[in-house]
Amino acid sequence: MKLRVGDWVEVRCKEEILCTLDKRGRLEELPFMPQMFQYCGQRFKVYKRAHKTCDTVYYAQGGGRRLSNGIHLETRCDGDAYGGCQAACLIFWKEAWLKRVSENGSSTESSSHVQSRQGDHAVNKACCTEDDVRANTRTENQMAGEEARYICQATELPNFTSILPWWDLKQYVEDYTSGNSSLSRLFSGFVYFGYYKLLGNRCRSALPFHWVYDRFQSLRGGVPYPRRSGLIPVGQPTPASTLDLQPGELVRVKSYKEILATLDPDNKNRGLCFDKELVPFCGGIYRVRSRMNKFINEKTGMMSTMKTPAIIMENVWCQSRYSTCRLGCPRSIYSWWREIWLERVSETTASGNEETM
């Protein structure tokens, strides 16, 4: 369908989707997850075209992963079928599971195409059932006493994608033509990437250039150089703070300088990394979405529990502006925050701030 950002689509009915799946509940190795059934018959605008994504299983260097006919709607995993995982990952959809609708709500699918799909379902209705989809969300380990391994789109990502080198220029053309990225965002990304490769990763010798970079960015209201190292010496514990933040509360992200003072040289605070993609949010005011306590380890499929909960904020996710070799990844993974990087603000204080929520 070559869907673009902003196009209206309707999720097909359950019966139509099931006839596209194999007995493992997959289409071209992409799992259809149980919580996706709730969206059948509902209409959404396309959020991003998922023609590429990042590799959060093997973290392969040199690029991301390519996906054919992939779409992101504004739908996220609720974790109900996966032990209560709280990562809230953006769901991958295949175009075969969607149909285009016009802005006035009418379907743009031809009647012959609908009849063809109904015929396919009549023939293939035994291919997959809703029970099959639910049964394939986990694999019981053979050894007694071991935890089950969860199977979701995130854990299976290497199986339904292929390697996409960063130098493949077609991906950036599709970023623009699909509406995923503007020309200005792509240009800014290429300028940053060139700076980082030529000067930005040369440690001490690059400090004067970082100053020039920051000065230029401050004049245009941009983000300071986002690849600095934490200030806590090796071997010393990083500080902690307990705010007991709850969903719905408003917080201000501290300045980049303040946050660097809480990080070790690896940019970690008690094991949680302050990623470069978090820097653009420094100084902004946002609403707490949830407390992160547990998540599925995407490499092992096992449930992991955090020693100290992290904070997830509404509309605060990776924009893939500075990630090496993965410019413009549309996956929008929620960022995880330590409470020491945040401070409470009142509704009154936030009322005049344009960055709220």
In the sheet that holds 43-49, the strands lie side by side as 90-94, 70-76, 43-49, 8-11, 98-100
Q: What is the pLDDT of residue 106?
A: 62
CB-based contact 85:77 (threshold 8 Å): yes
Non-local (6+) Cβ contacts of 154 within 8 A are: 56, 57, 87, 89, 296, 298
Look up residue 85 and give its two tokens: 């995982």
72's enclosing H/E stretch is: strand 70-76
The pTM (predicted TM-score) of the whole model is: 0.89
Look up residue 171 and give its two tokens: 């991906």
In the block, tokens 């420094």 appear at: 282
Neighbouring C-beta atoms of residue 235, cutoff 10 Å: 6
CB-based contact 263:332 (threshold 8 Å): no
Instruction: Report the alpha-carbon distance of residue 183 to residue 323 in Å, rounded.
Output: 18
Number of residues that make up the chain: 357
Q: What is the pLDDT of residue 348?
A: 80
pLDDT along the chain (357 residues), means of 10: 95 97 97 98 98 90 88 97 96 98 68 50 67 92 70 97 93 97 92 82 70 86 90 94 96 97 96 96 97 96 95 97 89 98 89 56
Instruction: Report the alpha-carbon distance of residue 59 to residue 158 in Å, rounded.
Output: 10
Pick from 116, 36, 125, 17: nearest CA to 81: 36
The 3-state DSSP class for residue 304 equals strand
The 3-state DSSP class for residue 257 equals helix
Q: What is the pLDDT of residue 100?
A: 96
234's enclosing H/E stretch is: none
8 CB-side CA count, 13 A:
12
The 3-state DSSP class for residue 276 equals helix
Q: What is the pLDDT of residue 201?
A: 65
Instruction: Report the alpha-carbon distance of residue 281 to residue 336 in Å, rounded.
Output: 12
CB-based contact 225:257 (threshold 8 Å): no
Instruction: Report the alpha-carbon distance of residue 46 to residue 99 in Å, rounded.
Output: 11
Phi, psi (degrees; rounded to nearest 5) at 328: 80, 15
331 CB-side CA count, 13 A:
26
CB-based contact 186:172 (threshold 8 Å): yes
100: β partners: 9
Q: How far is CA 196 from CA 219, 230, 323, in A?
A: 20, 18, 11
CB-based contact 273:266 (threshold 8 Å): yes
CB-based contact 149:301 (threshold 8 Å): yes
Instruction: Report the alpha-carbon distance of residue 76 to residue 35 in Å, rounded.
Output: 9
In the block, tokens 């995982």 appear at: 85
